[in-house]
Structure formats: structure tokens, C-alpha cells
Amino acid sequence: RVADLQGTPPVDPGVSAADSIAALSGLVGLLAALHLRQRTGRGQHLDLSMLHAWFAADDYAHALLDGEPLETQGGLVWEAPGGPLFTGETFKVTWWHLRRAGLLDDPAPQGADLASKIETRRDAVQRWMSGFADRGSLEAELTRAGVVFGALQPADAMTTLPSTEDREIIRTLRDEHGAARSVIDSPFRYSAARAEPRGPAPRRGQHTGEVLREWLSLEAEEIERLESSGVLRPA
């Protein structure tokens, strides 16, 4: 984030979000261009900026342009029996669900400013959640109220989730020496095609000879000469 939110200091999220968004946007753009080429027979150049792709997918940027910048309002993670709990909507919506279900009275004093009301209501929600004896009772009440919520999972828990195992999201690949490496499978599941990894990442120069023979029609002697002269690095 370029600007701070509610006075909180900038934090590195630890993920390459802009890189991933730009790559996915590039893929969509390429597929659209290929589809158009099939219809018109004309190819074209695609210009894509990582910054532009990031802004296009950033909710904060869109809210800022609407004149209503988003605020964290202290975050949506709550202390709860059994571990932290995340509510998946804005605090305003969560508060509305809890009030509509009759689970909380509004503790905010009449005539208080909005910031004070939010702080007072958040404290009330936190005390209410912390007051449950067990996680199951809390989740039952949240479900009854229509609140969207979920447990926070550590990153390594992803590898053992039932959904991860059912979809075989993680696959083990072995190279020609038998060394194994776990990778994340392609997320696409086609009815008449396969999209899983075809093998481990190639070694540097592993396919150089194959590419030169098939694409440039070079003979084996020419490839060996290029390697011996230092132009090519041997595989």
C-alpha cells in the first residue's frame, strides 16, 4: 500500500502480488488476442504494465477514485476461543448482522462522532466473542446471524487441508537422478485436456541442443563446435 491505513505503519505482505496479477492479466490479454486472431487473421502487440495491472485489481485504488478510501478500522481479525477468527466483510456489515440478529445492543452514546462509535462497537464485538466458552458455540451464533467468518490458518496448514488432498493440489516431481521436489499443480481441471506439470524445471542448457536442432536445423557437429568455442554452455 502506498498510503497508510488508519495510521498503521506500512507492512510488507511477503507475497509477490503485483507479479502474479500482472502475469494473470497478461495471460488473459494473450488469450483475448489469440481469439481475435482466429476471428480476423490479424495478430497484434500487447503492452501490459505491472503497475497498471496492479492498480486495476486493487480495491483500495478504486475506492480512492470514488472519493471513499477504504479504512482498516483496526482489522477484521478477532480474538476468540480456539484461536483467531476472521470476519470476511467490512465491520459495518458484520455489526449490522449482529444487531439484526439481536445478539448485541449498541453501546455507542447518543451523539458520538463516527470514529468513537466504531471504536465502542468494535470493543463490544470483541468482548462478546471472547465471552463464549468454546469455539463451536460462537460459530453457531455467527452462522445464525449470517456473519461470514473463518479460522485463520498458518501457511503450512494448506498442505494438509482435505481440499488440498482431494484435488491433489500438491504433486511430487522427480528429475532424472531421482531427486524429488513438491510443486503446486495447475489449478485448471478440464473435461477433455490435461494441464498438470509435465516434469521438473529443466537444468540450465538441458534443451539447448534440442532447440537448435529442431528450430534452427543445426547439425550435431555445429552444436559441438559452438560448445567447444564457449558460445554455448554444455548441459
Tens of each residue's pLDDT in the chain, 235 residues: 444 455 566 667 777 888 999 999 999 999 999 999 999 999 999 999 999 998 888 877 777 787 766 655 556 899 999 999 999 888 889 999 999 999 999 999 989 998 899 899 999 999 999 999 999 999 999 999 999 999 888 878 888 889 889 988 998 898 888 888 888 898 888 898 888 888 888 888 888 999 999 999 999 999 999 999 989 887 7
Q: What distance in Å separates the CA atoms of residue 30 and residue 203, rounded to the nearest whole number? A: 27
Beta bridge partners of 48: none
Beta strands in 88-194 (DSSP E): 149-151, 170-174, 180-184
Neighbours of 147 (CB within 10 A): 22
- Rounded Cα distance, 144 and 132, in Å: 15
Grid cell of 177 as nine digits? 537422478
Q: How far apart are CA 41 and CA 13, in angstroms?
A: 43
Q: Is the dihedral of CA 147, 148, 153, 157 positive or negative?
A: positive
Give the pTM.
Answer: 0.60
